[in-house]
Structure 1
Amino acid sequence: MEYMPISLLVLFAVVFVVYRQMQTRPTANRGILYTAGVMIVVGAVTGGLIDSRYLVLSLGLLLVEAVVAVALGVWRAATVRVWLDGSGVAWSRATGWTLLAWLASIATRVGLYFAGQALGLTSSPSGILLFVGLTIGAQAYLVARRGSALTGTGRRPDTVVR
């Protein structure tokens, strides 16, 4: 995979996702979860995530990147406002804090990239796709879950609420 087209595609996807998050949207809309899933799968199957010359170091950095991506998604999800309207529909909208958290997420990903370069690891655009897919997926899942908790649709019918 080429760096420039993938980087531009990922940049466009992130800008689009952030733009959409700044709009008021129903939390039941799960389309972004499918997009994140596709990014994760494409990032994983296209290869290049592991530098075979430094297997342990490369695996360690990949694990750190995955954990950081999910943690940043959790952080951003906590900054999103979720509420019920008068008819019982759950809505969400990102806040200024969400935008700041996105900037921190991008800076963190860039820092991890340069850390890998400093360690002598070769990098692949697949890592960008995987990171962005994980971080967007974690955020979207948690926001949707918060909306489901508000509406009560997240519980199984046989679940007793105490």
Structure 2
Amino acid sequence: MSASTLTDALVMVAVVALVLVRQFRPQQITHDRRWWLIPAVLVFFALRQHGLLDAHHRTESVALIAAELLTGLAVGAAWAWTTKVWTEPDGSAWARGTKATAAVWVLGIGIRLGVAGIAALAGVKLGSGALLLALAASLLVRSGVLVWRAGRIQPSYGVFAPGSPEPAWKDPV
């Protein structure tokens, strides 16, 4: 195992561990412009590899990387849409993964294992770069959709849902 592959594996494990731990705890959604930073670092690590494409199976490896990327995009979108998003009385937006989010993770891992299995059966060497790109795509889409969703919800203070009865109490005017 080369130092590059070991570094990629450690980066991947660290990012997945960080994401999984943070996913099921309430986490404030900030509107800063850094939500793309971790995906950018993952893309950097993926593209710095010289063996991203199998030299003997270029077409097949491109197709498998495309499948990984599409899986990453789909998992990221599903992950974001199964995440509970709400506002606190101070107007801050928060998110937390649900049981459906965990199911999306399991399904995504299963699909990625299937892609890796297809690569192995076809004799295509699919390095860790493809997985890093897919993880970057998942994180990028998830973060982008959550920031977008958070921007669309209204603060929960002083706002009543359409069709809900007004409270029995009235503030003095």
Q: Normalized per residue, which structure has more helix?
A: 1
Task: Determine if the alignment matches structure 1 residue 130 to structure 2 residue 140.
Answer: no
TM-align CA RMSD: 2.0
Write out per-residue CA displacement over residues 60-96 of structure 1, whole angstroms, 9 at most, x where no aligned residue. 1111111111011101111100111112111111111
Work out which structure has the larger RCO, using CA pairs closer than 8 Å and 6 or more positions apart in sequence. Answer: 1
TM-score, with length taken from structure 2: 0.78
Q: Distance in 2 between matches of 1:46 and 1:54?
A: 17
Match of 2:38 in 1: 35
The aligned runs of 1:1-162 (5 Å cut-off) are 1=2, 2-28=4-30, 31-150=34-153
Which moves more between the two structures, 90-99 or 37-46? 37-46
- Count of residue pairs brought into register by the alignment: 152
- Conserved in 2, the CA contact under 8 Å of 1:70 and 1:138? yes
- Conserved in 2, the CA contact under 8 Å of 1:90 and 1:151? no
Q: Distance in 2 between matches of 1:32 and 1:103?
A: 24
- Conserved in 2, the CA contact under 8 Å of 1:43 and 1:126? yes
Q: Distance in 2 between matches of 1:106 and 1:136?
A: 14
- Conserved in 2, the CA contact under 8 Å of 1:28 and 1:148? no
Structure 2: state its 5+ residue gaps: 156-173
TM-score, with length taken from structure 1: 0.83
Structure 1: state its 5+ residue gaps: 153-162
Computing the radius of gyration over CA atoms, which structure comes out larger, 1 or 2?
2
- Conserved in 1, the CA contact under 8 Å of 2:64 and 2:119? yes
AA in 2 matched with 1:114 = G
- Conserved in 2, the CA contact under 8 Å of 1:47 and 1:126? no
Amino-acid identity (%) = 21
Cα gap change, 1:9/1:45 in structure 2, threshold over 3 Å: closer, same or farther?
closer
